Chain A
Amino acid sequence: MLFNSLTFVLFFGVVLALYAMPMAWRAKKGILLLGSYVFYAAWNPPLVILIWISTLIDWTAARRIHESSSSAHRRAWLSLSVMTNLGILAAFKYGAFLIENFNLLLGWLGATFQPAAPDLVLPVGISFYTFQTMAYSLDVYQGKTEPSRSFLDFALFVTFFPQLVAGPIVRPGYLMPQFEKPPQRDPGQFVWGLFLMTFGLFQKVVVADNMVGPVSDMVFGTGGATNALDAWTGVVAFSAQIFCDFAGYSTVAIGSALCLGFHMPRNFRYPYAAIGFSDFWQRWHITLSSWLRDYLYIPLGGNRKGRTRTQVNLMLTMLLGGLWHGAQWTFVVWGGLHGLYLVGERILKRLWGDRSTHVAMLFALGLLTWVLVLLAWVFFRAPDFGTAWLMLKSMFGAASPEKCLSSYHLAMAWGVTLVMLTCHWKLRETLVSDFVSRMPSWLVALAWAFMAFAIAVSGGSDDAFIYFQF
């Protein structure tokens, strides 16, 4: 079910109404769990079974890991959990990709055998919930958390609908304790949640889908060969689109969880105001980057095994992070570029130290970071390497003099980009909550009414969130 659909409006209204009824806390959690399954099944009912498999395996594995004193048994149960989750991911998300590349390799070696690629539906949000539930087994194995005593709480942790299909990826130690007893709400939390939901939908429906999405679609739709201004416009439009699409989703998720009384971690902190790439990854998709750091980079050795090994660990983490986004080599290259950026930044910091304290220098470094992020987005957005390469050539004026955008599209893309960059820089050290706290109530109401009006008159788009496909 999409947040930007009438079905969700009805669904959320029904869930809120049932949840508000006087009943035992356990019954309310049962409603949330049932609602979460309905939320997922509204897209493709049979695929709920995959969530049940993950839930049952990880619940059992974590308990056995905790109860067993034999390290061999503990490892075996952990392996079962990890292999089940990665197996589901591999089969449904990477199966066709693996076979396609296997066939290429066979062809390169001169073999004629060509196994057929499986034609499986990609379950929405599979990368999110498998990572979330796998973190539970890993945390219990590492002794960071105790297994939940309540199957209901655990099942709800895996399935909780606000963040089920596109995050934020929540850790067990963060969310499950919130399910133990009825939440204590701040005054105004429910309405603040509604406000955030409106703000998130505004970012998605108005900005991403209507203002900048069509511009990037138009430019990348040319196959990449266009004039330099149009090529840069297409890429900045995509950078705004993907931010507003994904941050919009996260904001609706956080808002809807707040309405129910639960807190979710922040997923974005004005990423286009990042100065450097370690800063960028503490601002962009924070819950994924921290997941990769804690469950991949650090277990690989992190920065504890010398400089070279640190760089290798960074590259491996970012390459796999790229692959997490989709079964295409273009995503791997996107991750690889970010890996190189991070490695390069570490080398430069070691050589020159951290001397960049002047405001102008910080701004220049921020601008450089943004431009390098834009170059990487080309691989993320392009459907193939041919398009990506042509787009890069176009950006440097070496592909085609043909224009493809009207003055309207130029104004939309650069107007949104300018506003977005200004907001990110102005607010880079603040929280949205603090910003809103400084506004008078009437101004909040005016902004709220404006956003809701713009959503209503921008027209229903049935575009799914970009991150659903991951």
Chain B
Amino acid sequence: MTHSSTSNSDYHLHYHTPTISWRAALWLAIPLWMLALGVWEWFWRHQGYEPSYLNSVGLWADARRKVGTDGNRDLVIVGSSRILFDLDLNVLSEELDAPYPIQLALEGTNPYDFLHDIAVDPLFKGTLLVGVTEGLLFGRPGGERGDMLQRFQKQTPSDRMGHRISLLFEHHLGMLDPDLRLFTLIERMDWPDREGMPPRFLGVRKLSTMDRFRESTMWHRLETDLAYQKMAQDTWSTILSFPAPPLTDEHVTDVIGRIHSDVDLIRSRGGRVIFVRCPSNGHFLEVERQAFPRSRVWDRLIAETNAIGIHFEDYPQLQGYTLPEWSHLAAGEKERFTSALAKIIQEQKET
């Protein structure tokens, strides 16, 4: 910057080709790389990580773009992980005689923004199932995947093409699981706690697998590996112990008021909204009952929006399922639960 000369030799310095045998380097590097990847894939498959579609922006966007394609027969699901993991989409479609459901629920995420997004979409005239996890719907805005709508709206042609290419690999490679990312694994190693810092919280570990249409199923290890199951329960206990602002009636009124407007908007186009409270049990349910009493939250939501509400505690056929980590149904329970839920929805429709 201090030389007043336009001749600048460093500018023209470029990378000349090093004088090594590049052909040999390339033909050694490729098999080494493939061998390393092969061993990596084999090791994780051996640990039970089967290939699964990634719960990506692209997959969600594919589902979101289908909203409105079946007119008033559209069946769309928003909510959090319970309604994401607990429903068998084939069974739901068959039992309700509806097109294949559009699964838009997102784990650990406040579903309000997504309910609103569907409400203001003039193309949507069908049925909207809203999964209610009180701690999320009446909690802080956003959450784990709270930026999904923005990312969907900002998808570029390149992003969409990248997703198409990714789909070719995802269901063949177990190592693509987010839990197996190199630096996630390194971070989860036994690093010493730092004095003055709370114990490390490393987030929720793998709970489910996903198919091309975002149907999620509990990962088999939660049912077969008791240590892993205990770890998942401990994770919920930690999350449930995080300090949260106390629930106020003003806040509940505000949330229900906004939901009510959105429900009315959907109804004005001929659509309908059904709220579903999926089962939870154990310590999770105890905390939920204490922090979000039905009379202050669920009952008001249903009464004030005048919508259909299906709470698992009100229906014996929605109770008694296996929830290995207190919050989501075991894989084998989905079909029975969905069938029972669909029958209730059908009955509600007819009355």
Contacts and interface: CB of A to CB of B under 8 A. Distances in A.
Interface of A: 1-2, 5-10, 41-45, 144, 171, 174, 186-189, 191-192, 194-196, 206, 210-211, 254, 258, 263-266, 269, 277-278, 281-282, 286-287, 289-290, 292-294, 297-298, 302-304, 314, 317-318, 342, 346, 403, 405-408, 410-411, 431-434, 436-437, 439-442, 444-446, 448-449, 452-454, 456-460, 462
Given A265-B11, A302-B4, A449-B32, A456 B16 contact: no
B15 A289 contact: no
19 contacts: A5-B158, A6-B165, A7-B165, A188-B21, A189-B17, A191-B23, A194-B26, A211-B183, A254-B15, A282-B10, A293-B8, A342-B1, A346-B2, A406-B194, A407-B191, A440-B20, A442-B25, A445-B25, A446-B29
Given A403-B196, A453-B36, A411 B156 contact: no
B166 A287 contact: no
Given A1-B158, A6-B166, A457-B182, A298 B17 contact: no
Contacts of B1: 277-278, 281-282, 289, 292-293, 297, 314, 317-318, 342
A264 B3 CA distance: 22
B182 A210 contact: yes
B32 A191 contact: no
B181 A441 contact: no
Task: Find the residue from A194, A454, A459 having the highest chain B CB count within 10 A.
Answer: A459
B187 interface: yes
Interface in B124-161: 156-159, 161
A292 B2 CA distance: 11
Contacts of B13: 265-266, 431
A315 to B, nearest CB: 11
A375 B161 CA distance: 41
B47 interface: no
A442 B28 contact: yes
Interface string B19-45: 111111110111011001100100000
A433 B18 contact: yes
Contacts of B180: 457
Contact of B161 (A42, A206, A298): A42
A192 B18 contact: yes
Contacts of B10: 266, 269, 282, 286, 290
Given A434-B18, A439-B20, A298 B4 contact: yes
B12 interface: yes
Given A456-B37, A462-B57, 14 more contacts: A9-B165, A10-B165, A186-B16, A188-B23, A192-B22, A278-B2, A289-B1, A297-B1, A346-B2, A433-B16, A445-B24, A452-B29, A453-B37, A459-B183
B178 interface: yes
A43 B158 contact: yes
A432 B15 contact: yes
A406 B197 CA distance: 8
Contacts of A278: 1-2
B175 A266 contact: no
Contacts of B159: 5, 7, 462
Given A269-B10, A281-B1, A457-B180, A42 B158 contact: yes
Contacts of B22: 187-188, 191-192, 195, 441
Contact of B194 (A188, A264, A269, A407): A407
Nearest to A171: B11
A454 B166 CA distance: 18
B193 interface: yes
B11 A286 contact: yes
B43 to A, nearest CB: 11
B11 A433 contact: no
Nearest to B15: A433
Given A188-B20, A189-B17, A41 B191 contact: no
Given A6-B162, A6-B166, A266-B15, A408 B187 contact: yes
B17 A187 contact: yes
A254 B21 CA distance: 20
B14 interface: yes
A458 to B, nearest CB: 5
B200 interface: yes
A10 B12 CA distance: 31
Given A431-B15, A432-B15, A459 B182 contact: yes
Nearest to A188: B22
Contacts of A7: 158-159, 161-162, 165
Interface string B75-97: 00000000000000000000000
B11 A290 contact: yes
Q: Which of A10, A287, A346, A408 has the most CB of B within 10 A?
A: A408
